[in-house]
Amino acid sequence: MTVEESWEKIERWITQHAPEEDPLPAPCTRADLERLYESVGEQLPEDVERSLLRHDGSGLTDILPPGYTLLGIEDIVYHREIWLQYGALNDTNLKEGHKPFLVPFAALSVTQLLVDTRTGRLGWWDIEQCFQWEVDPLWSSFTSALGFVGDLLASPRPWIATLPGDDEWEVTDRHPDFPGTLVWTEDAVV
């Protein structure tokens, strides 16, 4: 499945089930991407680039489980500076040669998802646990992760995602605190 097909499924679900969700951001431009590439010194993998050309991040909408928002161009630059300043500095979980090629593209609080610009492989970082490569096939690429979400949202209710470690997260539009929005929750919603 392509990034565009995944986005179509996600957008359809939001329109149908989450009318209270903030609108997804407009696409970035090629000029925005060029400025990003000049700033970070690397070109993003094609799937991440195509997503940005569809939506410049996801705003406040938690697209990837268990609640990651996708970063827009400006936020990628900001999070990349944080990663290089704090994360990449003395991270013993990562070979020195990999550090310049990792670019954050999604965030959940202080945890960042990063993509290797050479391979498209995904990993995550937070300041306490340092960097870790994702090993589950779900996270082998951005296309895979976004496709998983698109397929899940295109399936019948309940929308249950089993993540690495057998954690189950439900996508719901009926969360009591945030009705009519896309919410990932560990607690089943009836």
CATH of the domain at 90: 3.40.1580.10
Examine residue 179 and state whether it is found in any structural domain, yes or no: no
Note whether residue 171 is domain-resident: no
The dihedral of CA 28, 32, 34, 39: what is its sign?
A: negative
Chain-wide mean pLDDT for the chain? 92
Give me the domain span that covers residue 52: 3-159
Distance CA 123, CA 141 (A): 9
Total domain count, the chain: 1
What local confidence, expressed as pLDDT, does residue 190 receive? 64
Residues 127-140 pLDDT 10s: 888 889 888 888 99
Residue 96 falls within a domain, yes or no? yes
Is the pLDDT confidence value at 164 over 90?
Answer: no
Q: Is residue 7 part of a domain?
A: yes
Residue 161 has pLDDT above 90, yes or no: no
* Continuous segment of H or E residues that includes residue 161: strand 159-163
The mean pLDDT of 21-44, rounded to a whole number, is 96
The residues facing 144 across adjacent strands are none
At 78-96, the pLDDT tens digits run: 999 988 887 766 777 787 7
- Whether residue 114 has pLDDT greater than 90: yes
Q: What is the mean pLDDT of residues 168-186?
A: 92
In a domain, 37, yes or no: yes
pLDDT value for 162: 83
Please report whether residue 175 resides in a domain. Answer: no
pTM of the model: 0.94
CA–CA dist 123, 115 (Å, integer): 6
CA distance 67 to 182: 10
pLDDT value of residue 187: 79
In a domain, residue 172? The reply is: no
Burial of 76 (0-12, 13-18, 19+ CB in 10 A): buried
Q: Which of 135, 129, 140, 121 is nearest to 92 (CA)?
A: 129
Residue 75 lies in a domain: yes
